[in-house]
């Protein structure tokens, strides 16, 4: 449980009283590989902090193809923010790519902490602003960058994941086939 406290302390120091308010409001969960913590049709009830392992958030199109939207590994947060805040059902899945551990916080507990530890509100604002910037950059890259440029950007954003993720997952994130990803990697190696 202290992993989430340590994470918050990267942004701002918490005193003992604040730490003691946070700990009972979060829960720890182990997740097996290929198990989900969110499925389409469910309401997203948690912000999830990845203590260990790796997750992907993805949607499925009308033809049954999966499209990865986000990855989250150690020290990162993952949630369907729209569903979490609106209470509407999600169109997304969040799945463990490898055996994982998360610390989760439910909406009412998060709001309680915002009221009792106002600086947490600022921490989450910064976290969400950073995620929003990532998403904006990704959307921009989708229509203005080559597949190779998108792959290089992926490596910059997720430097430790390229060796942990199967080619199919990375290719889905980039919007290309696994075969084309292999070609890009070979071309980069030649350069």
From first to last of its 191 residues, the chain has per-residue pLDDT tens of: 789 999 998 888 999 999 999 999 999 999 999 999 999 999 999 999 999 999 999 999 999 999 999 999 999 999 999 999 999 999 999 999 999 999 999 999 999 999 999 999 988 898 889 889 988 988 898 889 999 999 999 999 888 898 999 999 999 999 999 999 999 999 998 87
23, 69 Cβ separation under 8 angstroms: no
112 domain residue, yes or no: yes
- Per the structure, the complete domain to which residue 38 belongs is given by 2-117
**Number of domains the chain is built from:** 1
182 domain residue, yes or no: no
CB atoms within 10 A of CB 87: 10
69, 59 Cβ separation under 8 angstroms: yes
CATH no. for residue 108? 2.60.120.10
pTM for the whole thing?
0.91
Closest CA to 13 of 108, 115, 117: 117
150 domain residue, yes or no: no
């Amino acid at each position: 449980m202290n992993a989430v406290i340590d994470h918050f302390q990267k942004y701002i120091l918490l005193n003992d009283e604040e730490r003691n308010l946070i700990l009972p409001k979060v829960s720890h969960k182990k997740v097996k590989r290929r198990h989900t913590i969110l499925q389409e049709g469910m309401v997203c009830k948690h912000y999830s902090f990845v203590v260990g392992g790796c997750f992907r958030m993805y949607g499925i199109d009308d033809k049954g193809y999966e499209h990865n939207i986000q990855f989250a590994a150690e020290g990162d947060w993952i949630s369907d923010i729209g569903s979490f805040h609106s209470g509407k059902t999600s169109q997304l899945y969040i799945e463990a790519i490898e055996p994982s551990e998360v610390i989760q916080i439910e909406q009412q507990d998060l709001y309680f902490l915002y009221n009792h530890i106002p600086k947490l509100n600022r921490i989450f604002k910064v976290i969400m602003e950073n995620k929003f910037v990532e998403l904006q950059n990704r959307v921009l890259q989708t229509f203005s960058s080559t597949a190779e440029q998108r792959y290089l950007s992926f490596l910059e954003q997720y430097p430790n994941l390229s060796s942990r993720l199967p080619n199919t997952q990375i290719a889905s994130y980039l919007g290309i086939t696994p075969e084309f990803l292999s070609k890009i990697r070979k071309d980069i190696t030649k350069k």
